[in-house]
Homo-oligomer: A and B are copies of this chain.
Amino acid sequence: MKNAALKRADAGAVEKAIAALHAKLGNKVVTSMEVRRQHANTTTWLPNEAADVVVYAASTEDVQDAVRIAAAHKVPVIAFGTGTSLEGHVNAPLGGICIDVAQMNEVLAVHAEDLDCVIQPGVTRKKLNEYLRDQGLFFPIDPGADASLGGMAATRASGTNAVRYGTMKDNVLSLKAVLPNGEVIRTASRAKKSSAGYDLTRLFVGSEGTLGVITELTLKLSAIPEAISSAVCPFKSVEGACQATIATIQSGIPVARIEFIDAMAIRATNNYSKLSLAEAPTLFLEFHGSEAGVKEQTERFGEIAAEFGGGPLQWTTQAEERTKLWQARHDAYFAMMSLRPGAKALATDICVPISKLADAVLETEKDLQDMKLLGPIVGHVGDGNFHVSLVIDMDDQDELSRVKVFLDRLTERAHRMEGTCTGEHGVGQGKMKYLEAEHGPVVLDMMRSLKRALDPDNIMNPGKIVAI
């Protein structure tokens, strides 16, 4: 069921809203096409759909002012952090007001004893970790890009550390959000756990700006481990690498990172970074703990790997050598891009139960080969989550149609294997078409009911997740 709201806001209403914004927020309001297009930037092939106006909010009150004006004129609101989302989350298909929160980038409090902090949504994860380092604390979620934490919460981001530290769903204790009517809520207290009513925190995490604009976050922090060990281990086969991952987790080794890179991605990084790694399916690992603990964990992993055709295992606890050892993983993205100069990368992700991972990767590799597509695979295999980074000539229409078929098949595979069409990128615009196959029509209706109940005029990031 779609309702009439899914159309562009009336031009007169937009004009009035922009006038009201100018009057209320002065030079925080920008309407130049260049700025508007920058804010609708996506890293995929989705067309750029610019908002009508960009507001640089400096406070929760600014956000409230902008949302109240949007509500009064029934004009869409699109929240913007760093624009590193991957599925068109910040596009404005119906126009409207883009609220850029990047300048709301203060760390408001660090409670070291409670292992939490309170921040504004524009703080990026790297900035937060720099801020925290002196106190022996860190925020573990690492999606790759130096994304804003507000955006990471909105898309339920995760990344390489999730196998041990969880995703944004597990690391946001509470948040403040401006609702579609301009009112502000705080979803929970600072207590580590609560059973006091519906879990609004988790409802906002992953809601992609469709229920409100996040203006403050209370995040769970972790202690910087005493020792970190990094390891790299090539395998004879994809199955071997996946089986070793399963056995490692089953045996209770608290691995902090366990990343898979397929042979093609290794070849790419060998070329790009002048390395000479074996061109084989490879696991990159990190262990966190005491000096003795990480040594024991690493050695036990080495024994498990050997059982599944893995080795030789290289590992170190020295910071500089760790960086070098993981260089191929760090450089993977640029290495992939270098495979085809002038081409564009389209990153997609699925997540399956880990027992199905080897099959999922192998079928995907075969599809790539059969369809003559270039797409190295890297994955957070401890979670059964992997990415295909398609490197595409965007001017080749035939290639583009093959990519579309490939993506549909990839998602169909995830569903057939009891998995999800996106482990960490989110739905945005790009994956809306897969939701009904994933959840069924009753769940989609339920999601629409939720959205309608909380945003009856459908002004919050319309046209994303479940368009109503």
Query: A residues within 8 Å of B by Cβ?
Result: 111-116, 136, 155-158, 162, 166-167, 169-170, 179, 183-200, 202-203, 205-207, 222-226, 246, 249-252, 254, 288-290, 292-293, 296, 300, 351-355, 383-385, 414-415, 418-427, 431, 434-435, 438-440, 442-443, 446-447, 449-454, 465-466
Question: A453 and B447 in contact (CB under 8 A), knowing A115-B249, A115-B250, A418-B191?
Answer: no
What residues of chain B lie closer than 8 Å to A113, measured between beta carbons? 246, 250, 353-355
CB < 8 Å neighbour of A447 from B188, B198, B355, B465: B198
CB-CB under 8 A for A353 and B246, given A156-B199, A292-B292, A446-B454: no
The reply to whether A205 and B196 form a contact with Cβ atoms under 8 Å apart is no
Question: Are the CB atoms of A191 and B115 closer together than 8 Å?
Answer: no
CB closest residue in chain B, given A288 = B252
Q: Tell whether, in the assembled complex, residue B443 and residue A187 are in contact, meaning their CB atoms are under 8 Å apart.
A: yes
> Given A190-B353, A249-B115, A355-B114: A200 and B290 within 8 A (CB)?
no
Q: Known: A197-B466, A199-B202. Contact between A186 and B443, CB under 8 A?
A: yes
Closest B residue to A383 using CB positions: B192
Q: Are B296 and A193 in contact (CB under 8 A)?
A: no
* Cα distance, A350 to B155, chains bound together (Å): 31
Q: With A and B bound together, what is the CA distance between A130 and B447 in angstroms? A: 37
Cα-based distance from A263 to B292 in the complex (angstroms):
36
Cβ-defined contact, A205 with B197, below 8 A: no
Q: Considering only CB atoms, which chain B residue lies closest to A170 in the complex? A: B170
**Can you offer 24 A-B residue contacts whose CB atoms are under 8 A?**
A111-B355, A115-B250, A155-B195, A185-B439, A185-B442, A189-B420, A190-B418, A192-B354, A193-B351, A193-B383, A193-B420, A193-B424, A195-B206, A195-B422, A196-B427, A196-B438, A197-B439, A199-B199, A199-B205, A199-B206, A203-B203, A223-B252, A293-B296, A450-B450
- Set of chain B residues within 8 Å of A249, measured between Cβ atoms: 115, 223
User: How far in angstroms is the closest Cβ of chain B from A273?
Assistant: 29
Nearest neighbor of A385 in chain B, beta-carbon distance: B193
Apart from A191-B383, A292-B292, A452-B453, list 8 A-B contacts with CB within 8 A: A113-B353, A114-B354, A155-B195, A190-B353, A190-B418, A192-B351, A198-B465, A200-B447
Residues of B within 8 A of A155 (CB): 195
In the complex the two chains form, is B454's CB within 8 Å of A449's CB?
Answer: yes
List residues of chain B with CB within 8 A of the CB of A466.
197
Q: How far is the CB of A184 from chain B (nearest CB, A)?
A: 7
A417 to chain B, nearest CB (A): 9
Query: Are the C-beta atoms of A453 and B443 separated by less than 8 Å?
Result: no
CB–CB B420/A191 < 8 A: yes
Complexed CA–CA distance, A250 and B205 (Å):
26
Identify which of A136, A225, A425, A439 gathers the most chain B CB atoms within 10 Å of its CB.
Answer: A439
A198 contact set on B, CB distance < 8 A:
203, 206-207, 447, 450-451, 465
List the B side residues contacting A251 at CB < 8 Å.
Answer: 223, 226
Across the A-B interface, the 5 shortest Cβ-Cβ residue pairs: A453-B453, A202-B202, A223-B252, A194-B420, A113-B355
> B191 contacts A426, CB within 8 Å?
no
Report B-chain residues with C-beta under 8 Å of the C-beta of A196: 420-422, 427, 431, 434-435, 438-439
Most buried by B among A193, A199, A414: A193
Question: How far is it, in angstroms, between the C-alpha of A421 and the C-alpha of B158 when the chains are bound?
Answer: 30
Tell me, in angstroms, the Cα distance from A112 to B419 when the chains sit together: 16
Output the least CB separation between A252 and chain B (Å): 4
A435 to B: closest C-beta gap in Å: 6
Q: Which residues of B contact A415 (CB under 8 A)?
A: 189
The CA-CA distance from A37 to B383 in the complex, in Å, is: 46
Is the beta-carbon distance between B443 and A454 smaller than 8 angstroms?
A: no
Interface centre among A187, A203, A246, A434 (most CB of B within 10 A): A203
Identify the closest chain B residue to A112 (Cβ). B250
Shortest CB-to-CB span from A192 to chain B, Å, is 5
